[in-house]
Amino acid sequence: MPPRVVVVGAGPVGCVAAAELASGGVDVTLLEASLELPRELRASTFHPATLDLLERFGVVDKMVQRGLIAPRFAYRDRRQGVVAEFDLTALADVTDHPFRLQCEQFKLCEIMLNKFRSMANVAVRFGAEVVGIVDHGGSASAQLASGEMLAADAVVAADGAASAVRKSLGLAFDGMTYEDRYLVLSTPFEMADHLADLAYVNYISDPEEWLVLLRTVDLWRALFPVGDDETDDEALSDESAQRRLQGIVARDEPFEVAHRTIYRVHQRVADRFAVGRVVLMGDAAHINNPLGGMGMNGGVHDAVLLGASLAAVLRGDLGADRLAHHAQLRRNLAIDYVRRQTHDNAQSLAAPDSADRQRALDLMAARAADPDKARSYMLQASMINAKDAMRAELEEVGVFKTG
Ligand SMILES: Cc1cc2nc3c(=O)[nH]c(=O)nc-3n(C[C@H](O)[C@H](O)[C@H](O)COP(=O)(O)OP(=O)(O)OC[C@H]3O[C@@H](n4cnc5c(N)ncnc54)[C@H](O)[C@@H]3O)c2cc1C
């Protein structure tokens, strides 16, 4: 009998973990609380290193068909225009995907779920909310809201930031919550016709209100900070949406607003990513500032390494101590790499002092102007350094031939 794993949560991380486990010879039951795949607009950037890791599942071409290739990303100032631009094609010698792919996260899930339909060793159940986990040492069980108990050789928790599995294990989720909330507004209005040299990914500094302006296939998405002088309802109002979008491009007509959402931003990491036969991944294990787009990407990196590692342990090819080591490595990377990079991004855009902000922009301009510095920065921002930091471990579990 092949080993059996229950994966909790059919978000991007749960879907990738299920694919990795299944390709490692494991029978997977993927449990999703919602009645159908959540399709709200959340992360929409896949970094080069993540695309390299996803290539093994044969899904990247399909994602590219449904996404937008973004070779350039830019730092701008609202008044000065482009301050620094980085061209990822310069990394073509170290990645097969020298670009960011602008593609909403639910599209990866749709492509994966479609693939699972033809796989005998992945069963997907919607409307299956997990309320608790029992770790028996050499196996684990998931308890569903319906009262059903599902026994397995191991459980993967990919059930998002409010993870019921993490809570049921009593794991701490320490860190901090930012003072500002983030408001995301999406519009079909073609911003690029009105702002010179607009890349598909732009970090825009401004003394009054910084923003991030991203293109997806159909929409421009603008992310703004919301201070404590504004309630959620005020920030989400038509008046606020129009004022903010008119601040990007002033026009006589109102903007069509396709989506609007506001959320709180945290930096938090679970105190362990593996407890006995339960492995935490993605937002269940770590959440961070979305600037730089590393949350979902980091979760996919967890799912590939820890999914392959868990499958190898269950097949008897690897000792449990190696899974513990890999989980610790992913935790260290969540703290040292993702948290630092995203926090720095937030600081450079949002520094309240204009001299500090100008210094941050000058630093970006100097980096972009020097090919060596630009390369070193892009290796960090594209998560290639993060992938390389687990090169030996990926090779150990047979996942990835690094270049
Ligand atoms: C509003 C919002 C906007 C965001 N925007 C961005 C962005 O612009 N850029 C960016 O990089 N990141 C963004 N993020 C973060 C990004 O979406 C996450 O990092 C990413 O979704 C993590 O993937 P995941 O699979 O770990 O968790 P999730 O995507 O949260 O998936 C978890 C899945 O588990 C299911 N589930 C939850 N509890 C249970 C349970 N008890 N039993 C069974 N199933 C369960 C959920 O329904 C869900 O399908 C945003 C997050 C939010 C909340």
Give the pLDDT confidence of 342-368 residue by residue, as tens digits. 766 766 676 767 788 888 889 899 999
Is residue 403 pLDDT above 60, yes or no? Answer: no
CATH of the domain at 198: 3.30.9.10
Task: Report the percentage of the chain scoring pLDDT > 70.
Answer: 96
Is the shortest distance between the CB of 299 and ligand 1 below 6 Å?
A: yes
**DSSP conformational letter for 255:** P
Q: Which are the contacts of 171, defined by CB distance < 8 A and separation ≥ 6?
A: 270, 271, 272, 275, 280
- For residue 370, tell me if it sits in a domain: no
Sheet holding 100-102, edge to edge: 45-46, 100-102, 68-70
Looking at the fold, whether 328 and 284 belong to one and the same domain comes out as: yes
Q: Which are the contacts of 277, defined by CB distance < 8 A and separation ≥ 6?
A: 135, 136, 137, 138, 139, 140, 153, 154, 155
What is the Å distance from ligand 1's center to 38 Cα?
A: 9
Looking at the fold, whether 109 and 254 belong to one and the same domain comes out as: no
State how far the Cα of 268 lies from the Cα of 153, in Å rounded to an integer: 28
Task: Name the pLDDT band for 179 (thresholds 50, 70, 90).
Answer: confident
Q: What is the pLDDT of residue 48?
A: 98
- For residue 338, tell me if it sits in a domain: yes
- Which of 208, 232, 263 is where one domain is finished? 263
Is the shortest distance between the CB of 383 and ligand 1 below 6 Å?
A: no
User: Could you give the number of structural domains in the chain?
Assistant: 2
Closest atom, ligand 1, to C-alpha of 283? 26
- Which of 197, 230, 263 is where one domain is finished? 263
Pocket test for ligand 1, best of 29, 39, 42, 278 (most atoms within 8 A of CB): 42
- For residue 26, tell me if it sits in a domain: yes
What is the Å distance from ligand 1's center to 397 Cα?
A: 27
Looking at the fold, whether 133 and 25 belong to one and the same domain comes out as: yes
Q: What is the pLDDT of residue 241?
A: 97
- For residue 228, tell me if it sits in a domain: yes
- For residue 234, tell me if it sits in a domain: yes
Q: What is the mean pLDDT of residues 156-183?
A: 93
Classify each residue of 40-79 as buried b or exposed e, where b means 16 or more C-beta atoms within 10 Å of its C-beta: ebbbbbbbbbbbbbbebbebbebbbeebbebbbbbbbbbe
Q: H-helix or E-strand containing 86?
A: strand 81-87
Q: What is the pLDDT of residue 347?
A: 65
Q: Whose CA is nearest to atom 39 of ligand 1?
A: 159
Looking at the fold, whether 314 and 182 belong to one and the same domain comes out as: no
Q: Whose CA is nearest to atom 51 of ligand 1?
A: 42
Indicate the range of 154-168, 286-300, 371-385 predicted with least confidence.
286-300
Domain that holds residue 304: 4-68+101-174+266-350+389-396
* Closest alpha carbon to 337 in 283, 294, 305: 294
- 322 burial via Cβ count (<10 Å: 0-12, 13-18, 19+): middle
- Which of 222, 246, 263 is where one domain is finished? 263
pLDDT tens-place string over residues 246-281: 999 999 999 999 999 999 988 899 999 999 999 999
- For residue 376, tell me if it sits in a domain: no
Is residue 294 pLDDT above 60, yes or no? Answer: yes
Looking at the fold, whether 153 and 291 belong to one and the same domain comes out as: yes
Looking at the fold, whether 304 and 190 belong to one and the same domain comes out as: no
Is residue 238 pLDDT above 70, yes or no? Answer: yes
User: What is the phi-psi region of residue 341: left when phi exceeds 0, alpha when psi lies from -120 to 50, beta otherwise?
Assistant: alpha
Q: What is the mean pLDDT of residues 88-95?
A: 98
Dihedral (CA of 61, 66, 70, 73) sign: negative
* Closest alpha carbon to 269 in 336, 325, 326: 336
Looking at the fold, whether 165 and 293 belong to one and the same domain comes out as: yes
Q: What is the mean pLDDT of residues 310-318?
A: 97
> Maximum CA pair distance of the chain?
67
pLDDT tens-place string over residues 59-84: 999 999 999 999 999 999 888 889 99
- For residue 371, tell me if it sits in a domain: no
Give the global pTM.
0.95
Pocket test for ligand 1, best of 283, 288, 291, 339 (most atoms within 8 A of CB): 283
Looking at the fold, whether 282 and 256 belong to one and the same domain comes out as: no
- For residue 314, tell me if it sits in a domain: yes
Task: Name the pLDDT band for 401 (thresholds 50, 70, 90).
Answer: low
Closest atom, ligand 1, to C-alpha of 164? 41
Residue 16's alpha-carbon distances to 138, 205, 304, 375, in angstroms, are 24, 35, 7, 29
Looking at the fold, whether 194 and 339 belong to one and the same domain comes out as: no
Looking at the fold, whether 191 and 135 belong to one and the same domain comes out as: no
Pocket test for ligand 1, best of 296, 302, 338, 382 (most atoms within 8 A of CB): 296
CATH of the domain at 286: 3.50.50.60
- 172 burial via Cβ count (<10 Å: 0-12, 13-18, 19+): exposed
Indicate the range of 169-183, 213-227, 365-379 predicted with least confidence.
169-183
Task: Name the pLDDT band for 220 (thresholds 50, 70, 90).
Answer: very high
Closest atom, ligand 1, to C-alpha of 158? 26
Looking at the fold, whether 146 and 226 belong to one and the same domain comes out as: no
Is residue 167 pLDDT above 80, yes or no? Answer: yes
Q: What is the mean pLDDT of residues 206-231?
A: 92
Closest atom, ligand 1, to C-alpha of 15? 25
Task: Name the pLDDT band for 339 (thresholds 50, 70, 90).
Answer: low
Q: What is the pLDDT of residue 190?
A: 97
Q: Whose CA is nearest to atom 35 of ligand 1?
A: 9
Residue 386 in 3-state DSSP? Answer: helix
Angle at 210 (CA atoms; ends 199, 381), nearest 5 degrees: 50
Q: What is the pLDDT of residue 135?
A: 85
What is the average pLDDT value for the chain, to the nearest integer? Answer: 93
Is residue 229 pLDDT above 60, yes or no? Answer: yes
What is the Å distance from ligand 1's center to 403 Cα?
A: 31
Angle between helices 105-116 and 12-23 (to 10 degrees): 30
Looking at the fold, whether 287 and 325 belong to one and the same domain comes out as: yes
Q: What is the mean pLDDT of residues 198-214?
A: 91
